[in-house]
Structure 1
């Protein structure tokens, strides 16, 4: 009894004398836990998807062990050997740690131990990376971001083998490698660490993860709340033009959890970077859940992390590929490893939504932890339900009051509209208010360009952002929205764009056959108000749903307006004549126009201009209500691009000059199909005979759509009162219309 009291007293003294340390803890405790490992071991051989993942990971790790450990002196950008080797090392080490805990094979622990001590031996004398492009150079990698990736994964590996190491070995690793590493990416690089950005999220999570393994409260506080006195100048910018520090902005993991996410779970940088950031958010969140459950990280901001997973899945097309809003590489999908993590953790620590199991089933792999086991068991036990993606309107901004992104879906993603009226999206944002893209199933009909970057392809700028990302991809004319006087929204100034957002006017998906979203932008061009309304409509006279697009413009002065439509496919026909130049020249000199070749220039031949193309076996027609003075420009990307960094894609652009108040009205109409196998062409012609703006004033805008059989449908928008209870009356062409709510539509 006396011995117990003395031991307790000694432990108390040690705790008081060493404030960085709290009560001793067992390992593993970050992602895998003692209880979780026991449950996994008991179920080995009983859960097919989990067992298959174990075998796949084992084969991968065993091959790396046979290859041997290589920790080369860093020299390359992303895509180069040294970069890829260090990346493979941390990914493999994390997997080896899981295998060690599950299979209890000492070779995996030895592999991690030997790798860590190789890094420990080199790190103390390692200079900053020789490549100087980044605003925050790392040591192992060309930027601190990738160093943070390393520490997030290596923390998990260290946690997995913690109890196999002697105290002397742990002290050596922690004092010579892990603490200096954490200090370097945080205190030594506050411009990277102490901000609200996906980069900082990785840095915060990295410091926090290793803090939890080492039981270091000081490091954990730094991870959660940032560096109190960082010495940064307010208004400094990074290489992407984004502010490193904003006045009054907090830092640390909790600030990154608070500010970029809206209450709906939308991440302001867009789905591509939400996908990237969800891994550190969820992994560190899970570690905090396991080690510091009283912090309630998963419950923070009304479960916003788990909401974020649902929002992200809803920002994908029918093939699971994320919509390329802002800086987004096309083709990134929920099959990526970070979404395996997101789906598994959201299932286990959310409400075990059976629809998530269908996504996991498509991914065909799970995490090697208790959440992955839970998912695999759910699939084995037949609990899977299809993940249904309905129309959704996701707010932007920490309070949900900074615009948003609306996704209107008809049927089983037969037609999907993505409408962006969001905030700027931090440094990865593009200058394209009220832009849209359109999908039929998983195929792009009208596209958003995405980013100008070849990720991890060394031949293209070291795999980094290319200069064309600023000169083209971020510009307004690169998107399906209005450009005024060949300039960019907010003059392309980040500090101005970050202060403003578009405002939702109305969103209504209650009628599946007429779904509408409408938003207003008044700051992109001072003195000009843009009000864009888009409706996904299934008309009984049309085989497929179509999109009605109305852009109403009011300006204090006369301007030139350009409205581009970036189609994908082969041009089939049009009802206007145009001239093609013998020598291709750029359309303009700046703001993205310098990258557009003018391939043809014409004038409308009727008040309803039509342009048809074939894309991936499906026919499409753009019908626009045009004026006699309009110019019709056929453009293609590729001008002033000597290194072929841009895709050679095309657009039809409607140019309207010397106008102040005007309306652009268009219908994008999918119709028919073509099979190269049967060589059968079905319904290749448009069903629209005429599109007209029949009324436009301050209060109302009305358009009519006449089909080839003479049937006319009418759409009327109340421009100033969107209240669902407001009664409206309007007389158009001698006919009176009455309705309640923001809009009227009839296809009778």
Structure 2
């Protein structure tokens, strides 16, 4: 009898547990049903209900996914232990309140994802409680007390960072939406999310209604929260921008950009159409392309999941997916992006934005196996549907190396505003810029170049003058030297006329013009050529630069032939610098070191260069030899009598040490009308500090000479130390690939087809 009672009791207990579980499940189902009745299904932005189920089934089976999940879990568990802090905003970038609010939005997004995957309510509670803290704080906030930005935020000193916050936080809200009570959702939306979205958009049209990476973040922030709340009014603003009847057309902001002008589209779709070329190149440059790819692709993923009828990944012939491949190709051997325009050196495809970009591009772009090799290097994946897809591809052994080759990326919405050409062979990478201005982040450096070997800068582009998010340096924002130095023409490896920057250093002029592609040819391993013209940098002056990567089989490394042809209606002073990195070894010309370095000029960037030494060239060749990373390099340049050879260094008129003290070698021609600057740049040897042997420490070039030059053709004769003579000829006016040419040089006929030729003479 006693045993029977025990059994009955056990049955009752089991029945009670089942009943409680059933009630809890029914409650959850009621909440989910409420959401569905409102046209919602959650999660739906980056995670989907189907994706969550698939992820749970694969837990413990996919090493890279499990590793990523464990790292995020450890991070968020530690944050939960620390507690919630939502401080009153007061700081610029790098300050405590700025960094705390930034960390909060990153943590919120991750905690929301953990709740969905692990089904542990502590993460939902954490997200809810922090969002409620923000909902209590936000209505009390005025605009941010720091006044530096053209569009001040509330949580941050600029609306850009407020938009970052909402993009990430929208994802967290999506993950706990069904778990929240209806009254909690009402509080969050009415006190926080809707006012937040309205402030970013209607409250800051000069920020929201632009074609710029700033407005992309703003558009996406409003669009993401609109998708969570199923708010079509906000979604329309995000996609198409604000109505501009009450806005000042053509009003300029102090960041160098413009709000909507007559006939210009705005909104997210316009920000896909305008800055991207058909090749996926983003006109602001790879640093800001990397930054913008997160909102572009996160919103595209969300739109694809919630509004598949928009076919967003097919928009502009799939340009958002092309842009991921473009970005990877715009990086060096180590994955660091070339610092074109405003760009911080060291930014790479290991950034969180590119983890997102690679995973989404793989998942939605046809499962390109080359992207899996980049994901393997990144060693982490997104904790969502796209990350699961990548993790499964890696486990199944589908990864293939991402093959970087010589490539040209057109600039401009239609691909007709110049380009960036990258010539690669072996460990050498030559980056040649002949693009458009690059919006407000552009530099005045038409036809500039930089050179890399084995992932190291050899001849550098300075990049931006900024210490991003380091409070000690201007609150982590752009320094004044970005305008007085980094953007100026003399800061780059291109020609400067009369110590004046291209387009007078004025955005309004530079934004109207772009260089013109002339030649890009990379099919021949012996010689690859990129050539472009710039006819508007200086009134009455035309610039035509041709760069060739030439592989002589007698030598280990290819060399670069650089031909800059300048034609002008007047006599001018021309400067061509080479911003080499490393230690000067030797020159074949005499120079006199100044007892005390003096500024090279008074303005346009010249005020930031110390002239340290001066030489005067003779007719023939000037050689400049240096050592970098235990490798030897040389520049051999054609010179005329009286050319000045200047050794200079960055850092003049820089009392706060905002600039890097790096060297340059400048060739200056005075009182000249039409000139041709010709140089060969070589990597030719190495030094071992262990054996203390220097191998091939000297240039392999014996002589270079301009043997023909007129309006139609320029011919350069190259003689190596082994006695081999070659002739490189470029047609200056006819770039048709099938055109036949005949030219008589030194009483000998040279015949070829196409816009250039390289011929062995002996």
Say whether the 8 Å CA contact 2:206–2:258 is kept in structure 1. Answer: no
Which residue number corresponds to residue 389 of structure 1?
404
Which structure has the larger Rg over C-alpha atoms? Answer: 2
Say whether the 8 Å CA contact 2:618–2:639 is kept in structure 1. Answer: no
Of 518, 542, 567, the match for 1:554: 567
Map 1:492-507 onto structure 2 (within 5 A).
492-507=505-520
**Structure 2 residue 131 is the aligned partner of structure 1 residue 108:** no
> Secondary structure at 2:537's aligned position in 1?
coil
Distance 1:223 1:519 in 2: 38
Which residue number corresponds to residue 284 of structure 1?
299
Of 655, 664, 669, the match for 1:656: 669
Which residue number corresponds to residue 367 of structure 1?
382
1:62-92 Cα distance to aligned partner (Å, 9 max, x none): 1111110000000111101100100110000
Which residue number corresponds to residue 472 of structure 2?
459
Which residue number corresponds to residue 50 of structure 1?
65
Say whether the 8 Å CA contact 2:610–2:650 is kept in structure 1. Answer: yes
Which residue number corresponds to residue 380 of structure 1?
395
Distance 1:230 1:162 in 2: 36
Say whether the 8 Å CA contact 1:258–1:398 is kept in structure 2. Answer: yes
**Structure 2 residue 699 is the aligned partner of structure 1 residue 692:** no
Which residue number corresponds to residue 527 of structure 2?
514
Of 622, 631, 636, the match for 1:609: 622
1:282-301 Cα distance to aligned partner (Å, 9 max, x none): 00000000000001111100
Which residue number corresponds to residue 225 of structure 2?
210
Distance 2:194 2:502 in 1: 45
> Secondary structure at 1:124's aligned position in 2?
helix
Distance 2:314 2:452 in 1: 35
Map 1:179-190 onto structure 2 (within 5 A).
179-190=194-205
Distance 2:109 2:190 in 1: 21
Which residue number corresponds to residue 175 of structure 1?
190
**Structure 2 residue 642 is the aligned partner of structure 1 residue 621:** no
Displacement of 1:744 after TM fit? 1.0
Distance 1:351 1:547 in 2: 37
Of 74, 82, 86, the match for 1:67: 82
> Secondary structure at 2:466's aligned position in 1?
coil
> Secondary structure at 1:61's aligned position in 2?
helix
Distance 2:262 2:614 in 1: 48
Change (3 A) 1:634 1:244: farther
Distance 2:596 2:250 in 1: 45
Displacement of 1:22 after TM fit? 9.5
Which residue number corresponds to residue 544 of structure 1?
557
Say whether the 8 Å CA contact 1:22–1:217 is kept in structure 2. Answer: no
Say whether the 8 Å CA contact 2:434–2:447 is kept in structure 1. Answer: yes
Which residue number corresponds to residue 444 of structure 1?
457
Which residue number corresponds to residue 275 of structure 1?
290
Map 1:12-51 onto structure 2 (within 5 A).
24-51=39-66
**Structure 2 residue 706 is the aligned partner of structure 1 residue 676:** no
Say whether the 8 Å CA contact 2:304–2:313 is kept in structure 1. Answer: yes
Say whether the 8 Å CA contact 1:694–1:703 is kept in structure 2. Answer: yes
Distance 1:329 1:674 in 2: 30
Say whether the 8 Å CA contact 1:272–1:329 is kept in structure 2. Answer: yes
> Secondary structure at 1:581's aligned position in 2?
strand
Which residue number corresponds to residue 642 of structure 1?
655
Displacement of 1:23 after TM fit? 5.6
1:629-674 Cα distance to aligned partner (Å, 9 max, x none): 2100111000000000000011100000111111000000111111
Of 227, 234, 258, the match for 2:273: 258
Distance 1:228 1:239 in 2: 22
Say whether the 8 Å CA contact 1:515–1:535 is kept in structure 2. Answer: yes
Which residue number corresponds to residue 402 of structure 1?
417
Of 468, 491, 516, the match for 2:504: 491
Map 1:315-330 onto structure 2 (within 5 A).
315-330=330-345
Distance 2:49 2:658 in 1: 50
> Secondary structure at 1:524's aligned position in 2?
strand
Distance 1:541 1:712 in 2: 12
Which residue number corresponds to residue 301 of structure 1?
316
Distance 2:724 2:603 in 1: 45
Which residue number corresponds to residue 88 of structure 1?
103
Displacement of 1:679 after TM fit? 2.4
Say whether the 8 Å CA contact 2:600–2:606 is kept in structure 1. Answer: yes
1:692-735 Cα distance to aligned partner (Å, 9 max, x none): 11110011100011111221111000111111111111111122
Distance 1:205 1:230 in 2: 23
Which residue number corresponds to residue 665 of structure 1?
678
TM-score, with normalisation over the residues of structure 1?
0.96
Say whether the 8 Å CA contact 1:194–1:230 is kept in structure 2. Answer: no
Displacement of 1:604 after TM fit? 1.6
Of 726, 730, 749, the match for 1:713: 726
Which residue number corresponds to residue 4 of structure 2?
none
Say whether the 8 Å CA contact 1:242–1:494 is kept in structure 2. Answer: no
1:534-553 Cα distance to aligned partner (Å, 9 max, x none): 01110123221111000011
Q: Which runs of 5+ in 2 are unaligned?
A: 1-35
Instruction: Say how many residue pairs are matched.
Output: 726
Map 1:699-738 onto structure 2 (within 5 A).
699-738=712-751
Displacement of 1:26 after TM fit? 1.1
Which residue number corresponds to residue 248 of structure 2?
233
1:167-215 Cα distance to aligned partner (Å, 9 max, x none): 1110110011000000001100001110000000000000000000000
Of 456, 475, 487, the match for 1:474: 487
Change (3 A) 1:22 1:632: farther
Displacement of 1:677 after TM fit? 3.0
Say whether the 8 Å CA contact 1:575–1:605 is kept in structure 2. Answer: no
Displacement of 1:512 after TM fit? 1.7
TM-score, with normalisation over the residues of structure 2?
0.94
1:414-450 Cα distance to aligned partner (Å, 9 max, x none): 1111010000000000000000001112011110000
Distance 2:307 2:688 in 1: 58
> Secondary structure at 1:419's aligned position in 2?
strand
